Chain A
C-alpha cells in the first residue's frame, strides 16, 4: 500500500511538473505549480518529514503562488512565443 501510494504520488508529481512546463498561460502555470506543491507536501508527510511538509504547504502552495501572481500582474500574463 505504501509503495503504491508513493508510486502514484511520484507519477502525479511528474505529470503536474510537465503540465506546469507546458502551460502557455502563466496564471494557469502558477495554479498547477500550487497543485505540484500540494502533492509534494503529501509525499514529504508520507516519507516521515512533517516539518518539511508544513513548510511546503505554507510556502510552496501558499506564499510563492501569491508572489508569482503579483509578479504576473505587474508584467505579462503569457509567455512570449
Chain B
C-alpha cells in the first residue's frame, strides 16, 4: 500500500512538473494568456467599461456570467449548511428549557480574555470602515464586493465570538434575513434582466459613451449586493455551526 501511494505521488508530481515546464515564462508578453482576449482587456478595457480597476471590469463586465455563478455557488454553500439537521434545529420552546439551555451554554463557554474583548471592540469600527472604503473605491482601486464581503463577514464573526451568538444574530435583521442571504443572486439576476432590456443581451452592459453613469450605477449596485449578501452568508455559516447541538 505504501509503495502504491509513493508511486502515485511520484507519477502525479512528475506530471505536474512536466506540465509546469511547458508553461510560458511568468509575465511573458507573448504568452497565450496575454495575446488572446487579455490584450484587448488591457488596451481597451478602461475605455470600454469606464472602470479604472481592470480586475473589476473583467469580473463584472467582461466575465459577468462567471461572477453570477460564483455568487450562486456561495449561496448554495449556505443552503447546504442550513440543510444539515443540526443547523436548523429549533431552540427549546418552554422557558424552563431555554433557561436550562442558556445555562448550559454559559457553562460550556470559555470566558473571553479581556485583551481579545478590547482588541475586537476597538478594531471592529476600523475594519468596517476599511470594508466600506474597499467597496466604495472598488471600481477604481484594488478591492470590491467580494473583498468587502470577506472583511465584513470576518468582522461579524469576530464580534460574534466575543459578544456571543445572541448579539451576533442581531447584526442581521431577522425579518430580512432570507432576502439578505439571497441578495447576491437576486440582484445579479435583476441587473442581468435590466441589461437584457437595454442591450438585448443577458447581463449586457450599455456600451455607448452617454450611458457611462448608468453603467457605473449598475456596477456599484452589483458590488453592494455582492458585499452585503456575501457578508450575511459568511455570518450565517458561522451562526449555523455555532448553534448549540
Contacts and interface: CB of A to CB of B under 8 A. Distances in A.
Size bracket, chain B contacts? 20 to 34
Nearest to A62: B154
B155 to A, nearest CB: 9
A55 interface: yes
Interface stretch (A16-24, A28-36, A66-74): A66-74
A54 B86 contact: no
Interface string A1-38: 00000000000000000000000000000000000000
Contacts of A70: 238, 241-242
A41 to B, nearest CB: 12
Nearest to B157: A66
A74 B86 contact: yes
- Chief secondary structure at chain A's binding surface: helix
Given A63-B234, A74-B245, A55 B147 contact: yes
Interface of B: 55, 86, 134, 142-144, 146-147, 150-151, 153-154, 157-158, 161, 234, 237-238, 241-242, 245
Interface of A: 50-51, 54-55, 58-59, 62-63, 66-67, 70-71, 74
